[in-house]
Amino acid sequence: MQPYFIRSTIFNICFYILTAISCVVLLPTLFLPRNIFLGVVTGFCRSTAFLEKYILGLTYEIRGQEHLPISGSYIVAAKHQSAYETLKLHLLFHDPAVVLKKELLKIPLWGKYLAKSDVIAIDRSSPKAAIKSIQDGAKHIAAQGRPIVIFPQGTRVATHISAKDKPYKIGIIRMQDATALPIIPMALNTGVFYPRQKWCKKPGRVIFEFMPPIMPSDNRSETLKKIEMSVETKSSLLMEEGIKSIPSKPKAIKMLAALILILCIAYTVIWFGAAHFTKKAITGFLNDIAKNPSITQFQISPPKITGFPMKMHLSLPAQTLKTTAHEEITIEFIHAQSWPMMGVPIDIQTGTISIAQSRWSQPLAFDSLDAQIIFKNDILTIKHATLIAKQTQGHVSGQVDFNASPYPVINLGLGLENFESFLTELTQRKIVKPKAAMFAAVALKSLEKDGMVRTTLTSDKHKIYLGPIKIAELPPQ
């Protein structure tokens, strides 16, 4: 395994996730004023610097800031060794305009952010078009008083590639000709720690160093040579210094601490994300119930979610629902708890459940419902559910598959204990007629074994069966 592979992998995954989420979530900033947009961009750059520091152990230092003009526009001639320096430009300068190839503006989403940043995009269709686009862009940015950042070698170069292998291009001199701005050479050693096209990064201290400004001159080739010598010489020295700052061995304790930190952050995001979407889904479900034309009264009480960092606890206060058929259902409370992860069982408990109807002498009351369910891939698995009414207990287990169309597939096992007292109560409250209760008692007694009535509730397309008996037939679709 390569040195620093684990921490590099953790960093890369976090960075790609952060970038992907930011590109989508921050889309509204494309329509906001530039000052707000720039604040968001700077925040993203600070976030990546945070990940680099606490996962990779990679920090940076700025030297020679006294060479930067206090105000106004200027040109920065920067060494380009990796993506690292591009992620720091908005931390090194205020509202920089980066010179880049026009094709980058066509990258989905990312290109939109580049365009909003007001960069200088080079048209490389011909040398003449390239020079014109770079000079026009430089004049435009100079008029705004913003710094211009250009990579004179035109692309990222590995640490072992010299200026002889990849010479400095005349474009930077053309920009100075068009604007008469000073050129500030910027040396760096980013490639030592954050190599181009490499998975593994190294801990240490990146150094950015600015050199004295180079003013316009009639001798263009001499100016270009001066820029090249200044940047290359200093970058070589910084790379040597950077290599010495790399720890000889990865520090296991720091790596473990970084891993724990990332896992804690990820868990926190997952927990509160699950809480948000759960609350939104349940509130939406309650709103749908309230909008049903058959519902005459239903007070919506949003759920309360607590428990972080342990199991998520969801509480709903008393719920009362009245219908146009003069029915009233009241649930004293509903509690649910689970770890905020897909496929983990959810435990549900309720208080007293009361059902009333105008023709009944008294409401029918169930003491409680205690259930454990799993909902995954639109399949509801009831591991167990127990409904208690005094001495009587009803048990349910099995699955309901909502993937089927047009009706879900039901395959549930039912159990009933001490049904006699429950039938007696139904008769006394005029919910069931005595004769019907007597026939039901005989039928249930024939299914009883070891004190438990066992049967099934299943479906076949639009037909529903209790055991072998069809009890309902939904309209076929």
User: DSSP readout, 229-249?
Assistant: HHHHHHHHHHHHHHHHHS-SS
Q: What is the mean pLDDT of residues 298-318?
A: 89
291's enclosing H/E stretch is helix 252-291
Q: What is the mean pLDDT of residues 232-239?
A: 95
Residue 338 buriedness (CB in 10 A; 0-12 / 13-18 / 19+): buried
d(CA 280, CA 302): 9
d(CA 441, CA 420): 7
Q: Name the pairing type of β-strands 353-357 and 327-331.
A: antiparallel
Helix (H, G, I), strand (E, B) or coil at 205: strand
Radius of gyration of the chain (CA): 35
d(CA 233, CA 466): 86
Percent of the chain with pLDDT over 70: 97
d(CA 198, CA 255): 20
Residue with more model confidence, 262 or 346: 346
Confidence (pTM): 0.56
**So what's the pLDDT on residue 251?**
60
Q: Is the pLDDT of residue 1 over 60?
A: no
Give pLDDT tens digits for 125-152. 788 888 899 999 999 999 999 999 999 9
d(CA 273, CA 88): 30
- Which tokens go with 228? 């090249």
Helix axes 5-25 and 252-291, enclosed angle (nearest 10): 30
Please name the residue that has the structure tokens 């598959």: 401
Give pLDDT tens digits for 66-118. 999 998 999 999 999 999 999 999 999 999 999 998 888 888 888 899 999 99
**So what's the pLDDT on residue 240?**
94
Q: Is the pLDDT of residue 267 over 60?
A: yes
If we measure between CA atoms, which residue out of 114, 86, 53, 81 comes closest to residue 189? 81
Please name the residue that has the structure tokens 């989508």: 24
Q: Which of 296-300, 421-425, 437-441, 467-471 shows the lowest mean pLDDT across its residues?
A: 467-471
Sign of the CA dihedral with 470 first, then 473, 476, and 477 last = negative
- Do 242 and 60 contact (CB within 8 A), yes or no? no
261 pLDDT tier (thresholds 50, 70, 90): confident
Distance of CA 104 to the CA centre of its chain: 25
d(CA 302, CA 312): 16
Q: Does the structural domain 59-245 have CATH classification 3.40.1130.10?
A: yes
> Would you give the end-to-end CA distance of the chain in angstroms?
59
**So what's the pLDDT on residue 255?**
67
Residue with more model confidence, 124 or 315: 315
Largest CA distance in the chain: 113
Give pLDDT tens digits for 274-295. 888 888 888 888 888 888 888 8
Kindly list the domain boundaries of the chain, sorted by start residue: 59-245, 342-477
Residue with more model confidence, 248 or 377: 377
**So what's the pLDDT on residue 213?**
96
Q: What is the strand order of the sheet 295-298 is part of?
A: 295-298, 319-323, 327-331, 353-357, 364-366
**So what's the pLDDT on residue 335?**
94
- Which tokens go with 1? 């395994």
**So what's the pLDDT on residue 250?**
55
- Which tokens go with 141? 């940015």
- Do 87 and 48 contact (CB within 8 A), yes or no? yes
Give pLDDT tens digits for 210-235. 999 999 998 999 999 999 999 999 99
**So what's the pLDDT on residue 450?**
84
Q: Is the pLDDT of residue 17 over 80?
A: yes
- Which tokens go with 82? 């990796």
Percent of the chain with pLDDT over 90: 49
**So what's the pLDDT on residue 438?**
87
Give pLDDT tens digits for 336-393. 999 988 788 999 999 999 988 888 888 888 999 999 999 888 888 999 999 998 889 9
Q: What is the mean pLDDT of residues 120-126?
A: 85
- Which tokens go with 229? 């010598």
249 pLDDT tier (thresholds 50, 70, 90): low
Helix (H, G, I), strand (E, B) or coil at 361: coil
- Mean pLDDT, the chain, whole residue set: 89
- Print burial letters for 134-167: b (CB count within 10 Å at least 16), e (below 16): bbebbeebbeeebbbbbbbbbebbebeeebeebe
253 pLDDT tier (thresholds 50, 70, 90): low
